[in-house]
């Protein structure tokens, strides 16, 4: 029974209801005089404690089921997962391509980590043996693991369906971890006197993948797609890296840096550094050039809509900034996943996939 399994959530919910009922029964027995009051009182305290634990556990499991903060008990406890376990539950059907884990030793950021890579089935077919593929760099939320986010968005099946129907070209998905200095959120930033998360994503990952796989070099044929914090990163990386990416899609992202739960002194005390890491400021000051950005956001998403609405007002004079706004749905992958295929097709329409 895994951490994200529905049976576990149901069991926790049942116990959260059963324990309060047991508490009422114990109190009733005590007042009826059928047992010693002291023993019943002690039992009631234990049951009360268990009821609180069950209730908290049920709420945690429900939230984790929505956001996939932790994909397993090992992930929750901070245990590193071996490669075989990391890829469990990911596509095993040849029709949906296959997943590899590639070790990237980042010389610029001094970060070494495993990067999840999805290869379409066409990658190994004779007709494509001498053809390079465009790349979609897929950025998970925070603190989501790349594998969990990849699976929650059903990326392998959706990408395979579009490729097989000829609606997009065969492409490779690269999903690097964002959290390079656990447990802190670096917001994909080169932290002053700290981790170089921006260099990790824009230099080390791109070079590492280009040197290992038959893919196009960074530039027009590399796209970005991100969820939540990853959406913020995708927008920022596109607007800052003028020659490394051709387009980006932001799912439920925000457009000014947030300082909640981030790496200590994330942006330092420099106003210049803060501006350089704000998609809103980057757009208004430097524009978007011939690159393209798609903002996907729900009006009922309290985490993204206020920031996205402000950003879209700033972007109204930039025709290369498109948006897809849906009326109902919160900040979760189930609601945003419905717009994955149309977003991939949008990337094809602007010449990236």
pLDDT single digits (tens) 304-326? 999 999 999 999 999 999 999 99
Q: Which residues contact 302 (CB under 8 A, 6 or more apart)?
A: 330, 331
Give mean pLDDT, residues 199-204: 95
Q: Is the pTM of this model over 0.85?
A: no
Read off the pLDDT of residues 90-106 as tens digits, 9 standing for 90 and up.
665 777 899 999 999 99
pLDDT top residue among 27 and 202: 202
Edge-to-edge strands, sheet with 222-227: 98-106, 111-119, 172-175, 135-139, 222-227, 247-251, 292-298, 321-326
Read off the pLDDT of residues 235-291 as tens digits, 9 standing for 90 and up.
999 999 888 999 999 999 999 987 655 555 666 556 777 788 899 999 999 999 999
CATH 3.40.50.1820 is right for the domain spanning 81-349: yes
Using an 8 Å Cβ cutoff, are 105 and 208 in contact? yes
Output the pLDDT for position 39.
59
Task: Report the C-alpha gap between 335 and 125 in whole angstroms.
Answer: 34
Domain boundary assignment for the chain: 6-67, 81-349
Using an 8 Å Cβ cutoff, are 323 and 295 in contact? yes
């Amino acid at each position: 029974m895994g951490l994200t399994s529905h049976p576990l959530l149901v069991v926790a919910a049942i116990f959260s209801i059963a324990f309060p009922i047991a508490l009422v029964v114990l109190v009733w027995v005590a007042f009826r005089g059928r047992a010693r009051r002291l023993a019943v009182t002690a039992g009631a305290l234990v049951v009360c404690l268990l009821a609180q634990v069950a209730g908290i556990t049920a709420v945690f499991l429900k939230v984790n089921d929505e956001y996939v903060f932790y994909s397993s008990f090992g992930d929750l406890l901070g245990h590193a997962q071996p490669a075989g376990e990391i890829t469990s539950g990911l596509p095993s059907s040849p029709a949906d391509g296959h997943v590899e884990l590639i070790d990237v030793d980042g010389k610029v950021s001094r970060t070494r980590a495993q990067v999840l890579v999805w290869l379409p089935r066409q990658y190994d077919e004779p007709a494509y043996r001498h053809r390079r593929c465009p790349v979609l760099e897929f950025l998970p939320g925070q603190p989501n693991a790349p594998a969990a986010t990849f699976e929650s968005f059903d990326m392998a099946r959706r990408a395979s369906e579009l490729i097989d129907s000829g609606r997009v070209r065969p492409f490779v998905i690269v999903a690097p971890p964002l959290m390079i200095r656990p447990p802190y959120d670096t917001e994909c930033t080169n932290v002053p006197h700290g981790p170089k998360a921006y260099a990790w994503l824009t230099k080390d990952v791109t070079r590492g993948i280009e040197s290992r796989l038959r893919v196009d070099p960074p530039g027009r044929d590399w796209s970005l797609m991100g969820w939540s914090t990853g959406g913020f990163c995708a927008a920022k990386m596109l607007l800052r890296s003028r020659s490394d990416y051709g387009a980006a899609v932001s799912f439920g992202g925000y457009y000014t840096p947030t300082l909640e739960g981030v790496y200590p002194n994330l942006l330092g005390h420099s106003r210049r550094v803060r501006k350089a890491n704000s998609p809103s400021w980057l757009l208004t000051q430097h524009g978007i050039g011939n690159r393209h950005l798609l903002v996907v956001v729900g009006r009922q998403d309290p985490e993204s809509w206020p920031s996205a609405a402000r950003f879209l007002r700033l972007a109204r004079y930039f025709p290369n900034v498109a948006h897809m706004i849906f009326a109902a749905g919160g900040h979760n992958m189930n609601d945003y996943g419905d717009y994955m295929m149309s977003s991939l097709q949008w990337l094809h329409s602007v010449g990236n996939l």
